[in-house]
């Protein structure tokens, strides 16, 4: 079972509700338990995220350092100290890393913990936001498996199967257009190969 702790630093509950839709997609394949419910009001979690954003903000860039945020988060007992859960952190500030000038966020295995950090700064459409979360949840859940057929190594391992949410898009415009195309065609979130990767990975999670 995937046990996921959510730290929502957004002021719009619709982002949490879109995250819930993303988690529902994952739960079609494996059992998922979350705390608190996405979209609910969790002031302690909100305040922790705002603290992290403040401490990891780079005023010269006007952005938050994702790596700095993760380093700080992992030292907070309520976040990094809980080794029994995977973590999702939603932030409002734009993100950057040493290798890219900006990013929607991403999945990182850091110091024994699984983290997803997602920024709402460049994501205006809630279906697109849900797809970004579904994509990162796929990475956290073992998809696509490294070395598998129909994958490409670009900013990590990504799927190249048509209409799979695990494809990588490098610009906001391309990502939005791909999300729109997938929804217009009513495509499944994950292709059959990525679905199997997630199911196989889940067999090794604690019961």
Domain count across the chain: 1
Q: Read off the tokens for 161.
A: 């199967």
Sequence-ordered list of residues with C-beta below 8 angstroms from that of 171, at least 6 positions apart, any chain? none
207 within a domain of the structure (yes/no)? no
At 89, which CATH number?
3.40.390.10
99 within a domain of the structure (yes/no)? yes
Structural domain span for residue 87? 2-202
Query: What does each of the 207 residues of the chain score in pLDDT, given as a tens digit?
Result: 899 999 999 999 999 999 999 999 999 999 999 999 998 989 999 999 999 999 999 999 999 999 999 999 999 999 999 999 999 999 999 999 998 999 999 999 999 999 999 999 999 899 999 999 999 999 999 999 988 999 999 888 999 999 999 999 989 999 999 999 999 999 999 999 999 999 999 987 654
């Amino acid at each position: 079972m995937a046990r996921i702790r959510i730290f929502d630093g957004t002021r719009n509950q619709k982002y949490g509700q879109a995250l819930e839709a993303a988690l529902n997609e994952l739960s079609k394949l494996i059992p998922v338990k979350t705390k608190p419910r996405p979209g609910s009001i969790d002031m302690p979690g909100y305040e922790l995220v705002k603290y992290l954003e403040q401490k990891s903000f780079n005023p010269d860039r006007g952005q938050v350092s994702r790596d700095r945020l993760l380093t700080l988060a992992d030292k907070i007992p309520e976040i990094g100290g809980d080794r029994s859960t995977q973590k999702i952190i939603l932030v409002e500030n734009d993100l950057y890393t040493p290798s890219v000038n900006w990013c929607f966020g991403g999945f990182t295995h850091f110091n024994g913990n699984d983290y997803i950090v997602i920024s709402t700064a460049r994501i205006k459409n809630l279906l697109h936001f849900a797809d970004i979360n579904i994509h990162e949840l796929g990475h956290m859940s073992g998809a696509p498996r490294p070395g598998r057929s129909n994958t490409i190594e670009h900013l990590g391992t990504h799927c190249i199967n048509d209409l799979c949410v695990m494809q990588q898009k490098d610009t906001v415009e391309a990502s939005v257009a791909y999300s729109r195309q997938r929804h217009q065609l009513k495509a499944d979130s994950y292709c059959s190969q990525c679905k199997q990767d997630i199911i196989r990975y889940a067999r090794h999670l604690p019961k």
